[in-house]
Amino acid sequence: MYASKAGFSTGIVTTTRVTHATPAAAYANMLHRDWESVGPSNKRGFHCVDAAAQLLTNASHVNVIMGGGAAEFYGPSDNTTFTMKGKRSDSRNLLQEWKDMQTEMNRKHVLLHTNDEFKRTDWSSVDYVLDMH
């Protein structure tokens, strides 16, 4: 966040899931590394937010986010461009929420899912990228 506030572009790029414990350390606070798309039940009054949801709230300033783990961002019944079933147990589609958030903030953004989309992107017209596989 400090680099972004100073005017620098920032990014999180990984060959693993974006919500995996190692890259998620850049934006998420979790008590257990497996809370990627589902936090624990709200026992004892705790409110624990999973890593995928924290990406939207805590990493909105990050210009480039690229990696795997797209299934952590949508539910099993969502119709997305992915063939794999989503893992979220709530009704949220965080990929769509990310797009909506970028639009509301009047940011030039792109959500990518495939290598072809990546190759066709006009990078001079984009400031924020979410590339999920």
Tens of pLDDT, residue by residue over 14-32, are 999 999 999 999 999 888 8
- Going by the annotation, the residues of the binding site for Mg(2+) are 20, 22
Is residue 64 within 8 Å of residue 129, measured between CB atoms? yes
Is residue 55 within 8 Å of residue 62, measured between CB atoms? no
Per-state percent for the chain, helix, strand, coil, to nearest 5: 30, 15, 50
- Going by the annotation, the residues of the binding site are 20, 22
Q: How confident is the model at residue 47 (pLDDT cuts 50, 70, 90)?
A: confident
The one-letter code for the residue type at 14 is T
pLDDT in tens, 57-107: 999 999 999 999 999 999 888 776 677 888 988 889 999 999 999 999 999
**Residues constituting the chain:** 133
